[in-house]
Homo-oligomer: A and B are copies of this chain.
């Protein structure tokens, strides 16, 4: 393969890996850019909050998933991003004893950077609300106050679900 062809090969592979890394038109939340493509991230865990009748899936970017699978989650490594995706609940129309997602509520994110976010416990805290993904900008203290009970768990509620190795 000649030099020009090699360049094309590498460029095309780059495109293949970065197909989702495009700019978003959604605004920033607490100065954090929208992590476009989070809907494609792999699963960290799921949960059902019976105090507010919501179902959740917790997803992770590649760094978070790699960290989870190698047990590096206290602290999580810089670059890890966790997404908590929240729906109101309802009973399945097909199986009444199954609780399933109804209306989408919001997607909440924690972005780990121990230097950049040192003043907020090593995490950037962000939330985009509703189907229109409206940025939440009422201050990170809203997020942090709720997460204080897990300050010893690198401020993360989620314990990664146990799964067979991939």
Asked if A39 and B40 sit within 8 Å, CB to CB, the answer is: no
The verdict on A12 contacting chain B, using a C-beta distance below 8 Å, is yes
Question: What 1/0 mask marks residues of chain A from 143 to 166 whose CB sits below 8 Å from any chain B CB?
Answer: 000000110010001110111111
Q: Are B12 and A157 in contact (CB under 8 A)?
A: no
A163 to nearest B CB, angstroms?
5
Contact residue range for chain A? 35 or more
Residues of B within 8 A of A131 (CB): 162, 164
CB A127 to nearest CB in B, in angstroms, measures 13
Max chain B C-beta neighbours (<10 A), residue from A59, A97, A101:
A101
Question: Contacts A55-B46, A55-B48, A94-B157 known; A9 to B5 CB distance under 8 Å?
Answer: yes
